[in-house]
Copies of this chain bind each other. A is one copy, B any other.
Amino acid sequence: MSDSSKEDYSDYFEVTPWKVEGSVDYARLIKKFGTQEITDELLEKFKSFTGELHPLLEHKFFFSHRDLDWILNKYENNEKFYLYTGRGPSGMVHLGHLMPWFLTKHLQDKFDSNLLFQITDDEKFLYGNKSMEEINRNVYENILDIIAIGFNKSKTKIIVNSKHIKHLYSTSLEIAKRITFSTAKSIFGFTNSTNIGMIGFPPLQGVPCFLPSILEGRPTPVLIPAAIDQDPYWRLTRDIAEKIGFYKPAQIHSKFLPSLQTVGKMSSSDPETAIFTTDDLDVIEKKISNTFTGGQPTISLQKKLGGNPGVCSVFSYLKYMFDTPAESNERELRCRSGNLLCGECKNDLSSHSTSFISIFQQKREKAKDLVSEFMYSEDR
């Protein structure tokens, strides 16, 4: 049983590209950001292209979008789209980071899409206190994770901003010229004490939205699978896309995998809140045994009152990463009725996680030989 079984959360939450705090109300977030809910109807349309729905769609871990219907119509009319996603290399990669990448791989396989994967080492240097050396080490480690996902080598290019800046710069100028400080301030909350590198940065994250059109020599649709905290960047890019002759990038937004310790997003800077792909297996077991659950303080209370899977990190991990929808529904029923104790769920998560990470780490090892083949270009 968890020590911390209170269910009474304040309804405060905050979601920006640099901070996710509080218990996120995703329905409110859709309204706040002005995105669209992924409806059952849209999922049906999706299924007509992909066959079975990916669990992350079926579970509605991906819950929100911009122009997903439009991009599927384009595809239907033989206009193939690029995928674009990214990684801010602030630390090692944890399971929360992998979720959008899983869906990205699924989309690449089903739609035979090219993928641009941007690593924003510059932003992570500008925001925070890490040295470029430390960030460079993270970049390398993160690239191993990206490759370990299993993306199609011949259709995937990893862009590291500081390494590939010459391929990005002229397009970033086209974007930057069309964004006033006032617009950027209202979207990102910049203040007088924000450094000018951060203020100048957003256009670079917009560039891969337009790079496919430049590479293909014609307007090319782009779909971005990413956690919803990154939406402000694309909102900005969408605002100016048509002014410079490109399609607006479409997006599909995920929720956050919760922290192991409390509500909110996992954090690379607090290792206890997350399972990292580089964690030793015994460390993972220990983290899971200490995880926050939705269970009652005692076994007898749990049997009497049942638990609350809605606030349980263990339940979320199992649901989004390992259970089938049917398994997850049954788990929820058993928990709520008091017929499932937290220990069993923790055991399930522990065995699934260690098995998954163990295989993933083997893939990471093999990835070391593939780094240069995945890079956008190897020139320096």
- Which of A's residues lie within 8 Å of B, judged by CB? 122, 125-126, 132, 162-163, 165-166, 169-170, 172-173, 176-182, 184-185, 190-197, 199-203, 379-380
A sample of 24 cross-chain residue pairs with beta-carbon separation below 8 angstroms, ordered by A number, consists of: A122-B169, A125-B177, A132-B170, A132-B173, A162-B173, A163-B166, A166-B166, A176-B200, A178-B195, A179-B196, A179-B197, A180-B193, A180-B194, A180-B195, A181-B181, A181-B192, A181-B195, A181-B196, A182-B193, A185-B192, A196-B200, A196-B202, A197-B203, A199-B199
Q: How far is the CB of A259 from chain B (nearest CB, A)?
A: 28
Please tell me if the beta carbons of A184 and B170 are within 8 angstroms of each other in the complex: no
Rounded to whole angstroms, the CA-CA distance of A253 and B8 in the bound complex is 66
Within 8 Å CB of A126, what residues of B?
Answer: 173, 176-177
Q: How far is the CB of A323 from chain B (nearest CB, A)?
A: 43
* Of the residues B177, B194, B195, contact of A195 by C-beta under 8 Å: B177
Please tell me if the beta carbons of A165 and B169 are within 8 angstroms of each other in the complex: yes
Q: How far is the CB of A375 from chain B (nearest CB, A)?
A: 14
Within 8 Å CB of A173, what residues of B?
Answer: 122, 125-126, 132, 162, 197
Within 8 Å CB of A132, what residues of B?
Answer: 170, 173
Q: How far is the CB of A114 from chain B (nearest CB, A)?
A: 23
* Of the residues B122, B125, B170, B196, contact of A162 by C-beta under 8 Å: B170
Rounded to whole angstroms, the CA-CA distance of A267 and B104 in the bound complex is 52
Within 8 Å CB of A176, what residues of B?
Answer: 126, 195-197, 200
* Of the residues B181, B194, B196, B380, contact of A203 by C-beta under 8 Å: B196
Within 8 Å CB of A196, what residues of B?
Answer: 176, 179-181, 184, 199-200, 202-203
Please tell me if the beta carbons of B162 and A165 are within 8 angstroms of each other in the complex: no
Within 8 Å CB of A179, what residues of B?
Answer: 195-197
The 6 closest A-B CB pairs, nearest first, are A200-B200, A176-B197, A182-B192, A165-B169, A166-B166, A179-B196
Within 8 Å CB of A199, what residues of B?
Answer: 181, 196, 199-200
Rounded to whole angstroms, the CA-CA distance of A373 and B331 in the bound complex is 71
Chain B residue nearest to A125 (CB atoms) is B173
Within 8 Å CB of A122, what residues of B?
Answer: 169, 173
Within 8 Å CB of A197, what residues of B?
Answer: 172-173, 176-177, 179, 200, 203
Chain B residue nearest to A176 (CB atoms) is B197
Given A196-B200, A200-B196, A203-B196, does the pair A181, B170 have CB atoms closer than 8 Å?
no
Chain B residue nearest to A192 (CB atoms) is B182
Please tell me if the beta carbons of A181 and B177 are within 8 angstroms of each other in the complex: no
Chain B residue nearest to A128 (CB atoms) is B177
Of listed A172, A173, A191, A379, residue having the most chain B CB within 10 A: A173
Rounded to whole angstroms, the CA-CA distance of A197 and B180 in the bound complex is 9
Please tell me if the beta carbons of B166 and A193 are within 8 angstroms of each other in the complex: no
Please tell me if the beta carbons of A180 and B162 are within 8 angstroms of each other in the complex: no
Within 8 Å CB of A170, what residues of B?
Answer: 132, 162
